[in-house]
């Protein structure tokens, strides 16, 4: 698993369940799901050692050891916002966020690892996090008018990034990519439903254990991002309050396709293009 150049392992670091998938490329636009696994975990890990033990067991459940991995992170402490700025080179805007986040985001960002990308649709149809330097190098002044560009800003606590990387290193797993889970859902939707993504308006609900994120897009462009302090944990508590349902019955209800939520941490659109 994950030893061939056409294979990839992805791990979703949720606050209630760790989820892992092993995929193998079949063509330029199709992947085969070779295995998947999940493990319940505590909401917080005390150390990188604790996280590494869970990651190691998850990889064993997937059927082997991986050399490289992409991580999706779901955590209420993360930053995910759309800002408008004069058209600015991405590297310059990234430094501005790093050194003066209070002025740009109205939030102190010194404890965060940040990245930024323009959210406007790319000419070549690339995803929102692809080739940001080229998109950010356009001229900021046209016909004497300063243009405003929308940028997506993502951030994760530096301590959390260090813990994930340290945990991966302990089991000789290379953390090739760290991405926020809602952004992964957005990019997965683009991959799974390219025609809808390119031509229609759409709404994605990323339901996590402690927090949910709503993403609204239109014709390849991310228009709105909002986080809600309500997730699978609060939903389960509401369904089982005053013994209305037992935990098993509530979980079965959540898993029904007709239920308005797809379950704690569920991201249905991410697997639509997978056999």
Q: Give domain status of residue 219, yes or no.
A: no
Indicate whether 92 belongs to any domain. Answer: yes
Q: What is the pLDDT of residues 162-201, one digit of tens each?
A: 999 999 999 988 888 999 999 999 999 998 899 999 999 9
- Give the number of domains in the chain: 2
The answer to whether the Cα torsion of 267, 22, 73, 131 is positive or negative is negative
Instruction: Say if 195 falls within a structural domain.
Output: no
pLDDT by residue (tens digit) across 82-133?
A: 999 898 899 999 888 888 888 888 888 889 999 999 987 543 444 444 444 4
Q: How far out from the chain centre does Cα 47 lie?
A: 22
Asked which of 116, 131, 155 is the last residue of a domain, the reply is: 155
Of residues 34, 29, 36, 30, the one with CA closest to residue 4? 34
Residue after which a domain boundary falls, among 139, 155, 171: 155
Residue 11 lies in a domain: no
Of 89, 124, 155, at which residue does a domain stop?
155
Tell me whether residue 194 is in a domain. no
Q: Which domain holds residue 88?
A: 79-155
- pLDDT of residue 146 exceeding 50: yes
* pTM of the predicted protein model: 0.76
Q: Which residues contact 99 (CB under 8 A, 6 or more apart)?
A: none
Within a domain: residue 107? yes
Within 10 A of 223 (CB to CB), how many other CB atoms are there? 15
In a domain, 214, yes or no: no
Q: Cα separation of 76 and 73, whole Å?
A: 10
| Confidence at residue 198, expressed as pLDDT on a 0 to 100 scale | 95
Three-state SS at 138: coil
**Distance between CA 112 and CA 156 in Å, rounded?**
5
Question: For residue 258, what pLDDT is reported?
Answer: 53
Q: Is residue 186 part of a domain?
A: no
């Amino acid at each position: 698993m994950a030893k061939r150049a056409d294979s990839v392992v992805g791990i979703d670091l949720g606050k209630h369940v760790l989820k892992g998938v092993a995929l193998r490329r079949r063509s330029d636009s199709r992947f085969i799901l070779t295995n998947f696994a999940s493990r319940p975990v505590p909401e917080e890990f005390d150390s990188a050692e604790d996280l590494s033990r869970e990651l190691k067991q998850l990889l064993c459940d997937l059927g082997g050891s991986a050399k490289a991995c992409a991580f999706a992170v779901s955590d209420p402490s993360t930053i995910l916002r759309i800002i408008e700025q004069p058209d600015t080179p991405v590297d310059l805007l990234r430094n501005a966020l790093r050194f003066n986040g209070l002025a740009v985001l109205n939030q102190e960002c010194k404890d965060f690892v940040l990245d930024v990308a323009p959210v406007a649709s790319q000419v070549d149809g690339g995803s929102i996090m692809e080739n940001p330097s080229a998109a950010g190098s356009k001229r900021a002044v046209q016909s004497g008018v300063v243009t405003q560009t929308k940028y997506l800003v993502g951030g994760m606590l530096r301590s959390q990034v260090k813990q994930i990387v340290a945990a991966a290193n302990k089991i000789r797993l290379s953390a090739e990519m760290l991405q926020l889970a809602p952004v992964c859902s957005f990019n997965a939707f683009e991959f799974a439903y390219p025609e809808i993504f390119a031509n229609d308006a759409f709404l994605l609900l990323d339901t996590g254990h402690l927090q949910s994120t709503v993403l609204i897009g239109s014709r390849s462009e991310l228009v709105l991002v909002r986080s809600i302090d309500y997730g699978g944990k609060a939903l389960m508590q509401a369904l089982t309050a005053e013994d209305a349902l037992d935990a098993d019955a509530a979980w079965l209800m959540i898993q029904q396709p007709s239920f308005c939520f797809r379950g704690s941490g569920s991201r249905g659109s991410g697997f639509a293009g997978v056999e």
